[in-house]
A and B are shown apart, each in its own frame.
Chain A
């Protein structure tokens, strides 16, 4: 068996060419099968997501209509003119039967207006939400960036230093981060960084700038940061015990390569999943944050609508957040399935 390297290569080329036909067929087959399987998986997931959104629509609708109490009485007070009451009742479709109301509600979802604000009928709910949404999304994205960019290094560090003083200290800090109520953290941040040090703009100042988003992002992101750091740590610790990590170490790879390229790649999956799912929670958590910092986002719109008893806006905010939440979950699932073939089987 004395072959020169050249012979070896020639042999391999010959083999590949001769088997090439069946190879290509097999490859095409596999690709086709994968996309086809992925497609049924996709269809299934899209269908169940739509079902969830429909469920949320039904839920918000029934919440509005089945909970005792007359919204018109709430809105106008008991001693309002009967004429106004009738007018408002008509505007809110309350003079119709429940099925008709539900139909109109679905229709307002279908044409993208989400209905008109009552009683003036000038702006659609969608217009109001479209104004507010960018602020909230920006805030949520900043918080997510902040949380991920700190949680990953801290989690990796804690996992590598597992069962040392460093690890213990980080565990305690993470626990504190999970336990601190954000509506306490926010005002404290304002006190320290705005009032005492005067580094950051105060509530309602310089709206839209990055600086004005920093403290709110810290307030909103701390809980997530602590959670993700804990997850990264435990997930990485799990993978560090795997055989392929030992193999990577045994073949002499530098330590950072073993951790970042071999272990982290697998350890990241659950972390990314949770991060994706938590993005929706950030949108909801923004309600408190926006109140503390006077930001004109979805949360402020929601609170205003609640105090004005404009139920359609309440309904609209719930629905929009639900759609984004479901959409993100869908996206995460699809990405997951694209990365990990075990899931779509």
Chain B
């Protein structure tokens, strides 16, 4: 028998074609960020004033922008930055969300009440507004500030899912058995509960990735991003301002963002159906 928990034989899980397309798109993004800048060699800010706002050509596969920078190089460096941002924000949010969600769900009582109240407050207004406000009042913008701003309310989703899952698992026999054996709460949470609630969290993280990409794009578009000229959002904003002269500048970053988010959504949908087959009928 091969199932999700079988470690002896490794086969591709039956996620469905769409999910693999999504995974492929994500892989392209990761490769773009990891290998792209190295393959292309050039600097994203190297200006070539003889070639401003040029369309795609052999020398510049995606054309050049208004400073004469190669768009493809910019996109690849932007992908590297975005990759770092995504990984750090999602892992920070995962850490915080699991820590608070699992402990709140398992320990209950006053701690649970407190965590839930904080979650209520953070959910009481649209997340992007909080992100904007934090970036806006911080005197020095940068990648660190952006990570902080995104993590401040990013953990909430994970915490809610984790808490809900813990409440489901908490009363099951294997937890009772562990308690009867005298395991410490910390060990129960870490060794017994966590592995059993991970799958919906992973699904959530896949969608969370898309969220990070979109929020970064919005913030950079509003001029509140990390103040690096080649993040995807900044490229998009630049493309909008020089749109009437050169349409390709808006197309490249726009499609990149759309495809990456699409990839996350496809993979997330597939994973969700895989983890929770009951949904498959309707979803």
**Of residues A52, A71, A187, which shows the largest number of chain B Cβ atoms within 10 Å of its Cβ?**
A187
Choose, from B2-10, B161-169, B239-247, the stretch at the interface. B239-247
Q: Which one, B126, B138, B222, contacts A67 given CB within 8 A?
A: B138
Q: Which one, A179, A306, A311, A317, contacts B258 given CB within 8 A?
A: A179
A-B contacts, CB under 8 A, total: 139
In the assembled complex, the Cα of A325 lies from the Cα of B127 at a distance in Å of 11
A325: chain B residues within 8 A (beta carbon):
124-126
A58: chain B residues within 8 A (beta carbon):
121
B122: chain A residues within 8 A (beta carbon):
59
Q: Taking the complex as formed, is A83 at the interface, i.e. its CB lies under 8 A from any CB of chain B?
A: no
Q: Taking the complex as formed, is B229 at the interface, i.e. its CB lies under 8 A from any CB of chain A?
A: no
Q: Taking the complex as formed, is A56 at the interface, i.e. its CB lies under 8 A from any CB of chain B?
A: yes
Choose, from A95-103, A210-218, A243-251, A276-284, the stretch at the interface. A276-284
Q: Is the beta-carbon distance between A238 and B125 smaller than 8 angstroms? A: no
In the assembled complex, the Cα of A238 lies from the Cα of B283 at a distance in Å of 9
Q: Which one, B130, B210, B222, B262, contacts A288 given CB within 8 A?
A: B222
Q: Which one, A56, A68, A187, A283, contacts B240 given CB within 8 A?
A: A187
A234-B282, A288-B221 given; A179·B138 CB < 8 A: no
A67-B137, A306-B136 given; A181·B214 CB < 8 A: yes
Q: Is the beta-carbon distance between A179 and B133 smaller than 8 angstroms? A: no
Q: Is the beta-carbon distance between A67 and B134 smaller than 8 angstroms? A: yes
Q: Taking the complex as formed, is A204 at the interface, i.e. its CB lies under 8 A from any CB of chain B?
A: no
Q: Is the beta-carbon distance between B254 and A181 smaller than 8 angstroms? A: yes
Q: Is the beta-carbon distance between A184 and B254 smaller than 8 angstroms? A: yes
A238: chain B residues within 8 A (beta carbon):
281-282
A294: chain B residues within 8 A (beta carbon):
none
A55-B117, A184-B236, A184-B254 given; A63·B134 CB < 8 A: yes
| Interfacial residues of chain A within 116-160, with CB under 8 A of chain B in the complex | none
Q: Is the beta-carbon distance between A321 and B139 smaller than 8 angstroms? A: no
Q: Is the beta-carbon distance between B126 and A321 smaller than 8 angstroms? A: yes
Q: Is the beta-carbon distance between A318 and B221 smaller than 8 angstroms? A: no
Main secondary structure of the interface of B (DSSP, over half): helix
In the assembled complex, the Cα of A195 lies from the Cα of B240 at a distance in Å of 14
B281: chain A residues within 8 A (beta carbon):
237-238, 241
Q: Which one, B221, B244, B265, contacts A175 given CB within 8 A?
A: B265
In the assembled complex, the Cα of A104 lies from the Cα of B237 at a distance in Å of 39
In the assembled complex, the Cα of A302 lies from the Cα of B137 at a distance in Å of 12
Q: Is the beta-carbon distance between A181 and B120 smaller than 8 angstroms? A: no
Q: Is the beta-carbon distance between B282 and A237 smaller than 8 angstroms? A: yes
Q: Is the beta-carbon distance between B133 and A288 smaller than 8 angstroms? A: no
Q: Is the beta-carbon distance between A284 and B236 smaller than 8 angstroms? A: no
A178-B265, A181-B236 given; A56·B121 CB < 8 A: yes
Q: Nearest Cβ distance between residue B105 and chain A, in whole angstroms?
A: 19
In the assembled complex, the Cα of A322 lies from the Cα of B244 at a distance in Å of 37
Q: Is the beta-carbon distance between A56 and B125 smaller than 8 angstroms? A: yes
In the assembled complex, the Cα of A302 lies from the Cα of B140 at a distance in Å of 19
Q: Is the beta-carbon distance between A55 and B120 smaller than 8 angstroms? A: yes
Q: Taking the complex as formed, is B128 at the interface, i.e. its CB lies under 8 A from any CB of chain A?
A: yes
Q: Which one, B128, B133, B257, contacts A63 given CB within 8 A?
A: B133
A287: chain B residues within 8 A (beta carbon):
128-129, 132, 218, 222
A56-B124, A183-B218 given; A175·B262 CB < 8 A: yes
Closest partner residue, chain B, to A280 (CB atom): B126
B254: chain A residues within 8 A (beta carbon):
181, 184, 188
A48: chain B residues within 8 A (beta carbon):
120
Q: Is the beta-carbon distance between B126 and A64 smaller than 8 angstroms? A: no
Q: Is the beta-carbon distance between A326 and B218 smaller than 8 angstroms? A: no
Q: Nearest Cβ distance between residue A174 and chain B, in whole angstroms?
A: 10
Q: Taking the complex as formed, is B94 at the interface, i.e. its CB lies under 8 A from any CB of chain A?
A: no
Mask, A171-191, CB within 8 Å of B = 1, is: 000011011110110011001
Closest partner residue, chain B, to A306 (CB atom): B136
A321: chain B residues within 8 A (beta carbon):
125-126, 129
A281: chain B residues within 8 A (beta carbon):
126
Q: Taking the complex as formed, is A258 at the interface, i.e. its CB lies under 8 A from any CB of chain B?
A: no
Q: Is the beta-carbon distance between B217 and A183 smaller than 8 angstroms? A: yes
Q: Taking the complex as formed, is A292 at the interface, i.e. its CB lies under 8 A from any CB of chain B?
A: yes
Q: Is the beta-carbon distance between B130 and A183 smaller than 8 angstroms? A: no
Closest partner residue, chain B, to A195 (CB atom): B244
Q: Taking the complex as formed, is A285 at the interface, i.e. its CB lies under 8 A from any CB of chain B?
A: yes
Q: Taking the complex as formed, is B92 at the interface, i.e. its CB lies under 8 A from any CB of chain A?
A: no
Q: Is the beta-carbon distance between B120 and A288 smaller than 8 angstroms? A: no
B247: chain A residues within 8 A (beta carbon):
191
Q: Is the beta-carbon distance between B139 and A69 smaller than 8 angstroms? A: yes
Q: Is the beta-carbon distance between A183 and B221 smaller than 8 angstroms? A: yes
A73: chain B residues within 8 A (beta carbon):
139
| Interfacial residues of chain A within 45-94, with CB under 8 A of chain B in the complex | 48, 51-53, 55-56, 58-60, 63-64, 67-71, 73-74
In the assembled complex, the Cα of A266 lies from the Cα of B31 at a distance in Å of 46
Q: Is the beta-carbon distance between B134 and A314 smaller than 8 angstroms? A: no
Q: Which one, A74, A234, A280, A314, contacts B139 given CB within 8 A?
A: A74
Closest partner residue, chain B, to A320 (CB atom): B125
In the assembled complex, the Cα of A306 lies from the Cα of B210 at a distance in Å of 26
Closest partner residue, chain A, to B239 (CB atom): A187
Q: Nearest Cβ distance between residue A329 and chain B, in whole angstroms?
A: 8
B283: chain A residues within 8 A (beta carbon):
234
Q: Is the beta-carbon distance between A318 and B244 smaller than 8 angstroms? A: no
In the assembled complex, the Cα of A255 lies from the Cα of B48 at a distance in Å of 66
Closest partner residue, chain B, to A324 (CB atom): B125
A64: chain B residues within 8 A (beta carbon):
137
Q: A178-B261, A187-B250 are in contact. List 7 more A-B contacts (CB 8 A).
A: A179-B262, A181-B257, A184-B253, A234-B283, A287-B128, A302-B132, A318-B129
9 example contacts (A-B, Cβ-Cβ < 8 A) are as follows A51-B117, A175-B266, A176-B258, A181-B217, A183-B236, A184-B258, A287-B222, A306-B136, A321-B129
